[in-house]
């Protein structure tokens, strides 16, 4: 197929005189482009919200004390060979759930290009006392400046402070504060599993919207957590945040051989999340494929009607010397131009619709107005939608074009 002034001028003339069919085809393409952009962006935003809700309150990777593996007596150095040992293999508990040498590992972890935040943490259970009331809570001892970059407590504070939390202070969720009638600067008592007691002052009250964090979680300084849980200078685990959360499992597996810890990622801890995301992807892909196929059939049907209605004109053009290749080029060019015009309509409408959705706000945690739809318009998606629409338009126009190229001018002119 070869573009010439003749083929371009005839194609434009056909589009101009068949305004109704042209507008119908443009509408089909525009709706297809709109659906691709809209569905993929909205579903992608929903998936990001799901992942953010899961990972917003936990580290992406956690380093824990490794489980100790017993060594058989026959493997010990200096043991005589040829002797038989009978015994039972048991799994030894983790070394008191503590990491003693964590300080020497921080510089190496911080130098890892994939790691953005390193937060040493003390975690355990304790009882929260105020007067005669007692409740079991999860105590997390942290360095606030580090941990806030993993779990954004400061941004979700209803009152008080987290980043400036000092020794002898506690930051807790709104449910605990409400149940205990606590306000800032009130005193409460924490009692660890071994009976160690710690009197603390309420420095902040937060609400993240995540029940597992808001309902029974209290934050204290790392030093207070070590004292309450009687860990000395040790910690319970090291939390890491990375740049690409979807690579967490691969990064964890690559990191594991180089550290003497058990390495877990949020992906391995939440397999159902990825199954849900995968099912969503399959569903949306089926919808988009169906949309593209329907658009292709719609364009082809409209162009076939156009060819059928122009048999006499095609016959005259051939009688005047137009070749079958030129006739085919005319109709393929029509399909291309209609697809381009459909993209020029569908993409702006899609962008306007997405911008309207992104402006919708609703009350969230703590009564703050939050964005209902997590919308991020991807220029690559817009280009992909346009490329798909144009390809479908050209392919759909090819079959009517072949039919037009095979018209016998003598039979058409005679009216047979």
pLDDT at 92 over 50: no
Residues 203-212: tens digit of each pLDDT: 999 988 776 6
133/234 same-domain check: yes
Residues 214-226: tens digit of each pLDDT: 778 899 999 999 9
276-286 burial, b if ≥16 CB within 10 A, otherwise e? Answer: ebeeeeeebee
319/192 same-domain check: no
Is 255 contained in some domain?
Answer: no
Angstrom distance (rounded) from CA 40 to CA 331: 31
What does the block give as tokens for 15? 């589009």
More confident residue, 104 or 277: 104
Q: Quote the pLDDT of residue 392.
A: 85
340/360 same-domain check: yes
Strands 133-142 and 217-221: parallel
Is 330 contained in some domain?
Answer: yes
Is 375 contained in some domain?
Answer: yes
Q: Quote the pLDDT of residue 137.
A: 92
Q: Quote the pLDDT of residue 59.
A: 92
Q: Quote the pLDDT of residue 325.
A: 83
Residues 6+ apart with CB under 8 A from 14: 306, 310, 330, 334
Q: Quote the pLDDT of residue 95.
A: 42
Q: Quote the pLDDT of residue 94.
A: 44
Of 187, 219, 242, which residue sits at a domain end?
Answer: 242
49/96 same-domain check: no
Residues 47-78: tens digit of each pLDDT: 888 787 777 778 999 999 876 655 555 565 66
Mean pLDDT of 351-380: 79
201/342 same-domain check: no
Is 263 contained in some domain?
Answer: no
Smallest CA-to-CA distance from 373 within 43, 138, 149 is with 43
* Percent of the chain with pLDDT strictly greater than 70: 87
66/209 same-domain check: yes
34/127 same-domain check: no
Residues 299-329: tens digit of each pLDDT: 778 777 777 666 677 777 777 777 878 888 8
Of 223, 242, 261, which residue sits at a domain end?
Answer: 242
pLDDT at 332 over 80: yes
Q: Could you write out the DSSP letters of every residue in 258-296?
A: GSSEEEEEHHHH-HHHHHHHHHHHHHHHHHHHHHHHHHH
Q: Quote the pLDDT of residue 330.
A: 83
Residues 264-300: tens digit of each pLDDT: 999 888 888 778 877 878 888 888 888 888 878 887 7
Of 196, 224, 242, which residue sits at a domain end?
Answer: 242
49/69 same-domain check: no
Mean pLDDT of 113-130: 93
DSSP H or E segment with residue 141: strand 133-142
228/297 same-domain check: no
What does the block give as tokens for 4? 């010439």
Residues 7-60: tens digit of each pLDDT: 888 888 877 877 888 888 888 888 888 888 888 888 888 888 878 777 777 899
**In DSSP terms, which residues pair with 141 in a beta bridge?**
122, 220
> Looking at residue 361, what DSSP letter applies?
E
Indicate the average pLDDT of the chain. 83
Q: For residue 188, report the phi and psi dihedrals to the nearest 5 degrees.
A: -135, 170
- Rounded to 5°, the CA angle 204-207-209 comes to 165
Is 251 contained in some domain?
Answer: no
Is 186 contained in some domain?
Answer: yes
Is 256 contained in some domain?
Answer: no
Q: Could you write out the DSSP letters of every residue in 34-90?
A: HHHHHHHHHHHHHHHHHHHHHHTTS-SEEEEEPPPPP--GGGSTTPPTT--------
What does the block give as tokens for 233? 């200078």
83/159 same-domain check: yes
51/188 same-domain check: no
Cα–chain center distance at 80: 58
CA torsion 330-333-335-339 (nearest 10°) is -160
Judged on CB neighbours under 10 Å (0-12, 13-18, 19+), 56 is middle
**In DSSP terms, which residues pair with 59 in a beta bridge?**
none
Smallest CA-to-CA distance from 145 within 133, 161, 132 is with 161
Angstrom distance (rounded) from CA 155 to CA 405: 67
**Is the dihedral angle over the CA atoms 306, 310, 311, 317 positive or is it negative?**
negative
Is 298 contained in some domain?
Answer: yes
- Number of folded domains that form the chain: 2
Cα–chain center distance at 300: 37
More confident residue, 259 or 82: 259
Domain carrying residue 288: 5-55+274-414
Q: Quote the pLDDT of residue 410.
A: 67
163/15 same-domain check: no
- Rounded to 5°, the CA angle 139-140-144 comes to 140
């Amino acid at each position: 197929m070869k573009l010439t002034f003749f083929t371009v001028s005839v194609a434009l003339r056909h589009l101009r005189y068949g305004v109704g069919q042209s507008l119908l085809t443009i509408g089909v393409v525009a709706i297809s482009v709109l659906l691709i952009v809209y569905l993929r962006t909205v579903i992608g935003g929903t998936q990001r919200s799901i992942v953010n809700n899961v990972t917003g309150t936990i580290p992406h990777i956690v380093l824990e004390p490794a489980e100790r593996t017993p060594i058989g007596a026959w493997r010990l150095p200096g043991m005589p060979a040829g002797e038989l040992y009978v015994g039972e293999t048991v799994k030894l508990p983790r070394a008191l759930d503590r990491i003693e040498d964590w300080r020497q590992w921080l510089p190496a972890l911080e130098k890892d290009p994939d790691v953005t935040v390193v937060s040493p943490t003390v975690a355990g259970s304790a009882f929260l006392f105020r007067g005669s009331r007692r409740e079991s809570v999860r105590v997390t001892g942290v360095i606030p400046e580090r941990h806030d970059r993993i779990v954004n407590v400061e941004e979700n504070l209803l009152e008080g402070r987290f980043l400036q939390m000092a020794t002898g202070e506690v930051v807790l969720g709104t449910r605990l504060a409400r149940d205990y009638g606590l306000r800032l600067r009130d005193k409460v008592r924490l009692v660890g599993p071994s009976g160690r007691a710690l009197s603390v002052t309420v420095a902040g009250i937060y609400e993240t919207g995540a029940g597992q964090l808001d309902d029974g979680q209290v934050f204290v300084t790392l030093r207070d957590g070590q004292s309450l849980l009687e860990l000395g200078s040790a910690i319970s685990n090291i939390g890491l945040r990375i740049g690409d959360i979807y690579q967490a499992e691969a990064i964890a597996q690559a990191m594991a051989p180089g550290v003497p810890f058990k390495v877990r990622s949020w992906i391995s801890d939440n397999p159902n999340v990825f199954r849900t995301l995968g099912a969503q992807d399959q569903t949306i892909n089926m919808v988009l494929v169906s949309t593209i196929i329907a658009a292709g059939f719609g364009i082809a049907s409209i162009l076939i009607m156009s060819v059928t209605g122009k048999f006499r004109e095609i016959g005259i053009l051939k009688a005047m010397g137009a070749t079958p290749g030129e006739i085919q080029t005319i109709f393929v060019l029509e399909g291309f131009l209609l697809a381009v015009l459909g993209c020029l309509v569908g993409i702006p409408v899609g962008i306007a619709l997405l911008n309207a959705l992104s402006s919708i706000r609703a009350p969230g945690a703590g009564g703050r107005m939050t964005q209902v739809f997590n919308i991020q318009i991807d220029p690559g998606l817009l280009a992909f939608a346009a490329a798909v629409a144009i390809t479908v338009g050209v392919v759909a126009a090819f079959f009517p074009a072949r039919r037009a190229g095979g018209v016998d001018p003598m039979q058409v002119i005679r009216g047979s």
